[in-house]
Amino acid sequence: MKLGVMGGTFDPVHYGHLVVAEGVRYEYRLDKVIFVPAGRPPHKADRPMSGPEHRLTITALAIASNPYFEVSDLEIKRPGLSYTYDTIRELQSLYRPEVVYFITGADAVLELLSWHRIRELLAMCRFIAATRPGYNLENLTVKLKLLPASLVERIVPVEVPALAISSSDIRRRVSEGRPIKYLLPEGVEEYVLSTGLYRQGLHQETSFC
């Protein structure tokens, strides 16, 4: 089994995430892509996030129509900071895949050097760096020169149709009363608007309480 893992805060999930996951699934003939909403990501610890139940629900709504996609509450349930290293280990023991592809956008992969146990993580799974508007994959190549070549080989850039969509922009739009239609699946839009998520600008709830 070839397993894809798509990590993110998904606050909210949008078409940028879905296009990346589906593009990589097809390109690498993955049997399954698991979306793992982040619990307490160490690199976002200083900013408020919507409650995990909201992010889990909207991710489930967003992926419902794709038979290859699943959502996991594994990071949300795990106490403490969420490290991808622990997540991949857990998924490996659950699914026993032959290979794991961790799917990220170019911006996330540029920060890779600061990730917890990055060398071990790169030895455990391949990284797919999807193109994202505004982030230069050449910068990545320069940064990665700091890692041994055997590990750099584990990171593969992939071209996906560029969607200049971000969760931050969607949150800002909601707080300003501007439309978010066509940036994310309808079910997610309805959920966001009916629950009042992001309306106050800041999040009403955080996952740290």
The correct pick among 166, 173, 187, 193 for binding ligand ATP (CB under 6 A) is 166
87 binds ligand ATP (CB under 6 A): no
The correct pick among 167, 180, 197, 207 for binding ligand ATP (CB under 6 A) is 167
Q: Which tokens go with 87?
A: 């997540």
Integer Cα distance of 18 and 39 in angstroms: 20
Q: CB of residue 34 vs ligand ATP: minimum separation in angstroms? A: 13
Helical spans, DSSP H, in 28-166:
52-63, 74-77, 84-95, 106-110, 118-124, 137-144, 149-152
Nearer to ligand ATP, 96 or 138 (CB): 138
Sign of the dihedral through C-alpha 64, 196, 10, 92? negative
The correct pick among 3, 4, 5, 10 for binding ligand ATP (CB under 6 A) is 10
Number of residues forming the site for ligand ATP (CB under 6 A) = 18
205 binds ligand ATP (CB under 6 A): no
How many other C-beta atoms are found inside a 10 Å radius of the C-beta of residue 23?
Answer: 18
Q: Are strands 99-105 and 126-130 parallel, antiparallel or unpaired?
A: parallel
Nearer to ligand ATP, 150 or 202 (CB): 202
Per-residue contact string for residues 93-112; x = within reach of ligand ATP by CB under 6 A: -----------xx-xx----
Q: Which tokens go with 17?
A: 């995430």
How many other C-beta atoms are found inside a 10 Å radius of the C-beta of residue 201?
Answer: 10
Integer Cα distance of 182 and 127 in angstroms: 29
55 binds ligand ATP (CB under 6 A): no
Nearer to ligand ATP, 97 or 102 (CB): 102
118 binds ligand ATP (CB under 6 A): no
List of residues contacting ligand ATP (CB under 6 A): 8-11, 16-17, 20, 104-105, 107-108, 130, 132, 163, 165-168
